[in-house]
């Protein structure tokens, strides 16, 4: 898009002016365009619209409405972003796209140049940006009037500078008419008057020149009461005296030269290169040296087309000629510098061509001296070939194209071209194949663009083929392009790639030849990463120099999909040792899995498949969730992935509905009205809708980029909000490659849930229910053995053929022993993460986290299933890894991945009770490494100290409530006192606990929430929960299995029908989340307390934000005096403690009744009650029923006091629930 302020406020897209609508919208846009990339306060926007009298009730809404409408209009251009940035808004747009800023840049360049001819040209081009009065269609206010006046002054100053330069060039006759009009419009500007006098004098019109002075004096005296200034008076005296030195003129330019015009015909349409063209326009303003731009990129990416297109655009700026020379860099006999110089000299009209290369170079530079010439040096071999061809003085523009790295060329700017996006690719196809053909088959055309991976040469070839065969539908071509060997249909692309590789193969340089040998091995990767000291690094870097790889962060490279096909084609020429073609398996992680973490399941499956099948398979794990995190924006992606509120609206799945079920009518208005009408910002809604509109194209791009379209088997995970994304990508894969086998597995596929998908979703060939470490290799073996019919008999594998049989629906597959552990293969994740780290925030933000596994299941759940826990079957069975194997796993993780990764998380399973002693004691954890575990509540102080020393910095203790009555309803087998003791222990040892406060359980009393609100201010010195949430009802939990016993009438959450086109019965079978249709008292109470409880928790969390001094409640002693230091409410309070209270505080570190306390300490109960009243009055006690416990952090706890008595331990088993 291009933007205009120097006239009416305007926006152009591809040359067409858009309708901006209201004057208010134009005003807001103009204020934002005046300061691109800067925050414009909302107050200034209001002042620009209404001055000092904005309408009090509607001003804010009007501004927001204008911004919203503008954001929608600008959404088509990804380089333009309108952002909310307190205290206003910021429009990020390249400055050269705004006529005002382009004008200013040209003026600055003109004023910086030493030559009058160049200065006049630049200033003339700058003034050509003006279309009339600035902001012409914006209503007046104090702000807009001031802006308009300032811009007009800038224009007049540029007009005066231009006329000054033209006068020095001898153009005095030509400027008289312009000066006459300017003086009439601005009669008080003395510089214009002086220039008018000088032009008239030099033209022999002396009397008129003197008349200008007389007129000027009259105007100044009449209007301002002043005489003309000294300079104008001095000029008047010189004109009056006939001073001939005023007649000095520059020498005429040489005559008789016929400028060369060698540029090839311009390409009919150059799509998708707006950013590069803007860079090229910008470098034209460079003064004082020749402008040299290198244009690199993959073969067929459009380097020459860009150079020629821009050459024609700027040809008028190079009146002394345009030269074009094919250097034949990719041929076996590239031009030598001598041959190139001779050809260029002949193009410049030189008749005598020296034979010596140095004489040639000198003659060449002499010919160019003082001339403005454009040179396009196409298909360069290297810097040695180019350097002698560069001009020696300013005034020329050199565009150098090449496939080989030109980093040694002394360039003003360097462009590296990538493939076209979907829109530009479609535009290119329309140009070559014809708009009518493309419009008649839009889906087939879009698929063609995707399969060509945005490569202009490929699009040109298929477009020309379509144009030559008007009787053939595009869909017929798509069928050919879907073939994994589709380079056979793209012969020019294959030839271009082969030429690039041949340069390496025939090079005398051993690194070049090593790069050529390594190239076929890259056919299975979309990106690759190596360390600088890796032996493969030089070869990969050389491939990047030749644009056969695209460099990313140091040591990381991307591979264009068509280049990958070419490499795979070369690799296939050498069969495996058995002579069979390898089966390619791609396992895919889709949104909304955490992009910082690999898929542990897929990493194990990939390692398992390699171990089981060796060279018969080629297995890759692809992390498309990382690409989507960038596509949506990290903040938006993380919010959808992590926030319970978004999980309960299904927005992650709804986002992919257009891809998963493309035939459904859009329901965006209904969806947002139902779930986000009062909570989602307008900006969030617009961002989601804008990204959703392009998500189908993006999925198709990723499918090709990651090679899903050429895989034999593609498997997807489905956990929670991954369901529709995985189904949608499977649909894209089937469209691109109908022969691919598509698989789905994960928590969303257990038993009846998986059966519904197998029955209803035709783009999924098999669904894996339960653990897949046994069923997956069985499935692959059936396919490799050529007996695909056998897959329908594998336990845990659901297909359209067997999903109606109860024996398969109930089967969950046999799991492997925990001791049959093998290391996950994280190589795919490491490569993907390194390749994308910079665009996801850089090393400070994008930090990887790796999983490990030491146990499976839940030992407490085997004994007593927590009411809200959705684990079932073998997922509950507890199995722990032997200590020596666990230690070996940690040592492997540390050796292999530290310090690249500094955070390791145990998968969703509980730490064995013996591990602190048997595994973590003495564990040599590298500095900076952090471990995360789920544990039981509580651990002993000794065990907590061991874990802290071993690097365990975060734990999930299974704390979900602070009311013993609620914990009993949950079957948690613990108490509020144990939970509080554990939080104190975490604080003491510097371990961060991850916990949530759940409420709204069936039969839970409203008094529980009231007590939470009352007690939270007492606990702010302890680590806060991650949030306060109403309990949800998951499939397989006791609340689901025994709903009647709890008085529940469960139904699938109401977002499911808005996403899935299934009947009510099928949705009830496939849903994971449920709601209670009964409006029971407990539910009404929970809804009533939702807001106040969340407010309290958020207040607590704010006290623990990074950079905030955390609250304290700690016992201190000094010189025999004792006091409690209390900052829980944000103020400092001191509570003096009498020495007689110390034994009570020691005993109160564990829960106790007042009577038991008196007995234990042999004190009078009245004395004890008095002490307790003092402690209670100072909010130092936690009370539940008759029992009390101190909240104070004290030195007594580590070894002096038990957490519970043995009898209590028997009654209340210690427990952690997932």
Please, what are the domains in the chain?
Answer: 2-170 (1.10.10.10), 184-248 (no CATH), 274-417 (3.40.50.300), 422-482 (no CATH), 486-574 (1.10.10), 849-1102 (3.80.30.20), 1113-1192 (1.10.10.10)
Whole-number percent of the chain with pLDDT over 70: 91
Averaged pLDDT for residues 347-352: 83
Under DSSP, the state recorded for 1055 is T
**CA 1059 to CA 798: how far, in whole Å?**
22
Under DSSP, the state recorded for 521 is G
pLDDT at 861: 62
**CA 381 to CA 396: how far, in whole Å?**
22
pLDDT at 1218: 26
* pLDDT-derived band at 981, boundaries 50, 70, 90: very high
Of the candidates 1214, 1203, 1218, the one whose C-alpha atom is nearest the C-alpha of residue 980 is 1203
Rounded-to-10 torsion of CA 394, 396, 399, 405: -30
For residue 479, pLDDT beyond 80: no
**CA 295 to CA 413: how far, in whole Å?**
9
**CA 1103 to CA 1114: how far, in whole Å?**
16
CB 811 within 8 A of CB 798: no
* pLDDT-derived band at 733, boundaries 50, 70, 90: very high
pLDDT at 308: 94
Preceding amide of 344 cis, omega within 30: no
For residue 98 the two structure tokens come to 């705004």
pLDDT at 868: 64
* pLDDT-derived band at 1200, boundaries 50, 70, 90: very low
* pLDDT-derived band at 1213, boundaries 50, 70, 90: very low
Crossing angle of helices 695-705/682-693, nearest 10°? Answer: 50
| 136 alpha carbon, distance to own chain's centre | 39
Mean pLDDT highest for which of 526-530, 592-596, 867-871?
A: 592-596
Whole-number percent of the chain with pLDDT over 90: 36
Q: Per residue in 13-22, pLDDT tens? A: 877 788 887 8
**CA 1095 to CA 775: how far, in whole Å?**
48
Mean per-residue pLDDT over the chain, rounded: 85
* pLDDT-derived band at 216, boundaries 50, 70, 90: confident
Preceding amide of 925 cis, omega within 30: no
* pLDDT-derived band at 1175, boundaries 50, 70, 90: very high
For residue 210, pLDDT beyond 90: no
Preceding amide of 899 cis, omega within 30: yes
Q: Per residue in 578-619, pLDDT tens? A: 445 678 899 999 999 999 999 999 999 999 999 999 878 889
- The dihedral of CA 433, 434, 439, 441: what is its sign? negative
List residues bridging with 855 in a β-sheet.
880
List residues bridging with 558 in a β-sheet.
527, 550
For residue 580 the two structure tokens come to 């069979």
For residue 452, pLDDT beyond 80: yes
**Phi, psi angle pair for 601, to nearest 5°:** -60, -50
Of the candidates 650, 718, 653, 678, the one whose C-alpha atom is nearest the C-alpha of residue 1074 is 650
Residue 726's contacts (CB-CB under 8 Å, 6 or more residues apart) are: 588, 590, 716, 717, 718, 744
Residue of 935 and 961 predicted with greater confidence: 961
pLDDT at 679: 65
Q: Per residue in 537-585, pLDDT tens? A: 888 888 988 888 888 888 788 888 888 888 877 775 554 444 456 788 9
pLDDT at 288: 65
Q: Report if pTM > 0.85.
A: no
């Amino acid at each position: 898009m291009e933007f205009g302020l120097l006239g009416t406020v305007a926006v152009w897209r591809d040359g067409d002016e858009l309708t901006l609508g209201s004057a208010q919208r134009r005003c807001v846009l103009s204020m934002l365009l005046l300061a691109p990339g800067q925050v414009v306060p909302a107050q200034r926007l209001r002042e620009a619209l209404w001055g000092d009298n904005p309408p009090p009730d509607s001003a804010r809404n009007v501004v927001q409405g204008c911004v919203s409408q503008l954001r929608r209009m600008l959404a088509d251009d990804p380089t333009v972003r309108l952002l909310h940035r307190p205290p206003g808004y910021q429009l990020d747009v390249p400055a050269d796209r705004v006529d005002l800023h382009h004008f200013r840049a040209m003026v600055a360049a003109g004023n910086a140049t030493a030559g009058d001819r160049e200065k006049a040209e630049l200033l003339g081009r700058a003034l050509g940006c003006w279309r009339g009065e600035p902001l012409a269609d914006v209503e007046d206010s104090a702000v807009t009037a001031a802006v308009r006046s300032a811009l007009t002054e800038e224009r007049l100053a540029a007009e005066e500078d231009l006329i000054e330069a033209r006068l020095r060039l001898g153009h005095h006759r030509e400027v008289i008419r312009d000066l006459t009009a300017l003086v009439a419009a601005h009669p008080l500007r003395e510089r214009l008057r002086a220039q008018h006098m000088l032009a008239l004098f030099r033209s022999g019109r002396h009397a008129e020149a003197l008349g200008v002075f007389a007129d000027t004096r009259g105007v100044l005296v009449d209007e301002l009461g002043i005489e003309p200034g000294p300079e104008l008076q001095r000029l008047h005296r010189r004109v009056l005296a006939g001073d001939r030195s005023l007649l000095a003129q520059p020498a005429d330019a040489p005559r008789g030269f016929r400028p060369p015009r060698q540029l090839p015909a311009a390409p009919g349409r150059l799509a998708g290169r707006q950013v590069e063209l803007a860079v090229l326009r910008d470098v034209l303003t460079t003064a004082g040296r020749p402008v040299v731009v290198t244009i690199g990129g993959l073969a067929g990416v459009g380097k020459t087309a860009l150079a020629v297109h821009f050459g024609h655009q700027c040809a008028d700026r190079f009146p002394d000629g345009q030269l074009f020379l094919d250097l034949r860099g990719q041929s076996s006999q590239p031009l030598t510098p001598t041959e190139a110089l001779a050809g260029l000299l002949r193009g410049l009209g030189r008749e005598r061509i020296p034979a010596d290369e140095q004489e040639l170079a000198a003659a060449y530079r002499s010919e160019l001296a003082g001339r403005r010439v454009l040179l396009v040096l196409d298909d360069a071999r290297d810097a040695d070939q180019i350097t002698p061809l560069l001009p020696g003085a300013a005034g020329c523009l050199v565009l150098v194209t090449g496939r080989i790295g030109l980093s040694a060329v002394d360039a003003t700017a360097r462009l590296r071209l990538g493939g076209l996006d979907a829109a530009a690719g479609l535009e290119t196809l329309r140009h070559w194949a014809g708009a009518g053909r493309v419009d008649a088959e839009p889906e087939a055309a879009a698929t063609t663009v995707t399969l060509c991976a945005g490569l202009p040469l490929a699009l040109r070839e298929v477009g020309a083929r379509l144009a030559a065969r008007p009787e053939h539908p595009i869909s017929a071509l798509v069928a050919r392009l879907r073939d994994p060997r589709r380079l056979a249909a793209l012969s020019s692309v294959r030839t271009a790639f082969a030429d690039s590789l041949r340069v390496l193969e025939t090079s005398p340089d051993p690194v070049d030849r090593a790069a050529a040998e390594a190239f076929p091995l890259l056919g299975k990767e979309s990106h690759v990463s190596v360390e600088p000291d890796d032996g493969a690094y030089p070869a990969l870097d050389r491939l990047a120099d030749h644009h056969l790889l695209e460099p990313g962060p140091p040591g990381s490279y991307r591979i264009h999909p068509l280049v990958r096909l070419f490499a795979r084609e070369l690799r296939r020429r050498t069969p495996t040792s058995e002579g069979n073609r390898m089966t390619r398996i791609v396992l895919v992680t889709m949104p909304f899995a955490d992009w910082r973490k690999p898929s542990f399941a897929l990493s194990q499956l990939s390692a398992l498949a390699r171990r089981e099948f060796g060279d018969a398979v080629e297995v890759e794990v692809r992390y498309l969730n990382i690409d989507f995190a960038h596509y949506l924006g990290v903040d938006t992606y993380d919010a959808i992935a992590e926030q319970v509120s978004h999980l309960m609206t299904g927005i992650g799945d709804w986002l992919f509905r257009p891809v998963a079920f493309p035939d459904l009518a859009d329901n965006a208005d209904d969806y947002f009205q139902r779930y986000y009408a009062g909570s989602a910002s307008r900006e969030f809604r617009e961002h989601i809708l804008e990204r959703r509109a392009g998500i189908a194209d993006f999925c198709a791009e990723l499918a090709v980029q990651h090679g899903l379209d050429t895989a034999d088997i593609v498997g997807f995970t489905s956990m929670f909000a991954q369901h529709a994304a995985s189904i949608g990508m499977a649909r894209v894969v089937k469209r691109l490659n109908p022969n691919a086998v598509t698989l789905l597995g994960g928590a969303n596929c257990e038993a009846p849930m998986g059966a519904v998908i197998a029955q209803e979703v035709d783009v999924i060939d098999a669904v894996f229910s339960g653990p897949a470490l046994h069923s997956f290799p069985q499935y692959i073996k059936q396919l490799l053995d050529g007996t695909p019919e056998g897959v329908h008999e594998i336990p845990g594998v659901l297909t359209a053929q067997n999903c109606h049989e109860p024996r398969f629906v109930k089967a969950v597959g046999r799991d492997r022993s925990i001791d049959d552990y093998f290391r996950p293969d994280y190589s795919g994740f490491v490569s993907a993460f390194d390749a994308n780290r910079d665009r996801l925030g850089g090393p400070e933000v994008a930090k990887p986290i790796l999983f490990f596994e030491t146990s499976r299941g839940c030992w407490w759940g085997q004994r007593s299933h927590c009411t809200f826990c959705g684990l079932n079957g073998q997922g509950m069975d507890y199995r722990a890894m032997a200590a020596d194997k666990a230690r070996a796993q940690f040592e492997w993780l540390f050796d292999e991945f530290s310090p690249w990764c500094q955070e390791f998380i145990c998968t969703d399973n509980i730490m064995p009770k013996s591990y602190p002693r048997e595994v973590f004691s003495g564990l040599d954890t590298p500095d900076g490494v952090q471990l995360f575990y789920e544990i039981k509540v509580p651990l002993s102080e000794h065990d907590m100290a061991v874990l802290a020393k071993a690097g365990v910095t975060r734990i999930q203790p299974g704390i979900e409530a602070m009311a013993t009555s609620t914990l009993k309803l949950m079957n948690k087998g613990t108490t509020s006192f144990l939970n509080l003791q554990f939080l104190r222990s975490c604080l003491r040892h510097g371990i961060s606990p991850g916990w949530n406060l759940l409420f709204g359980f069936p039969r839970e009393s409203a008094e529980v929430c009231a007590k939470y609100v009352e007690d939270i201010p007492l606990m702010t010195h302890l680590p806060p929960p991650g949030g306060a949430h109403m309990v949800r009802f998951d499939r397989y939990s006791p609340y689901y299995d025994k709903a009647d016993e709890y008085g529940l009438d469960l139904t699938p959450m109401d977002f499911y029908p808005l996403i899935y086109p299934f009947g009510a019965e099928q949705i009830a079978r496939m849903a994971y989340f449920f709601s209670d249709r009964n409006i029971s008292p407990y539910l009404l109470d929970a809804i009533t307390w939702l807001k106040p409880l969340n407010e309290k928790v958020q207040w607590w969390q704010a006290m623990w934000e990074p950079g905030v001094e955390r609250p304290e409640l700690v016992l201190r002693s000094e010189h025999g005096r004792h006091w409690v230091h209390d900052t829980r409410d944000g103020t400092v309070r001191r509570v003096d403690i009498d020495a007689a209270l110390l034994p009570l505080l020691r005993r109160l570190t564990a829960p106790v009744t007042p009577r038991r306390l008196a007995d234990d300490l042999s004190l009078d109960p009245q004395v004890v009650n008095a002490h307790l009243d003092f402690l209670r009055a100072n909010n130092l006690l936690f009370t539940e029923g008759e029992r009390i416990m101190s909240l104070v952090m004290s030195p007594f706890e580590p070894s002096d006091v038990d957490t519970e008595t043995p009898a209590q331990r028997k009654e209340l088993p210690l427990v952690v629930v997932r």
